[in-house]
Amino acid sequence: MKNESRLARRRAELLAESSAQREALGYFADQLAQPLQGDGLSARLLKGGKVPLILGGIALGFLLTRPRKLVPLATGAFGLWRMVQPVLETIRQARSAADLHPGAEPM
């Protein structure tokens, strides 16, 4: 019985500690999110999505860590991007055509 009482007390302490940590995490997460709200620069940067920021971070990381390998990588990525562009344009056109004619059969 003594062991069960000690375990129950420890469980209650852990639950209280977990609750306090959860509250603190919510508070700090709200503070971190405040600059992203409103009409600030960061909100305008994130308005288009996170993809440009992610790609910029990856490029900066490559530039700082392996600058000799960045040029061939960038050249290959640019070539791949140019190859994919017509396919993406075809997909965009198909989607816009489907939006204009919702009853039509998909391609």
Query: Does 103 have pLDDT greater than 70?
Result: no
* In contact, 53 and 42? CB cutoff 8 Å: no
- More confident call, 6 vs 95: 6
* In contact, 36 and 43? CB cutoff 8 Å: yes
Q: pLDDT tens digits for 59-79?
A: 788 777 766 776 787 788 888
Token code pair at residue 70: 């960045």
Query: Does 8 have pLDDT greater than 90?
Result: yes
Residue extents of the structural domains in the chain: 1-47, 50-107
CA distance 25 to 22: 5
Token code pair at residue 25: 């995490």
Structure-token match 């391609």, residue found: 107
Token code pair at residue 58: 């990856």
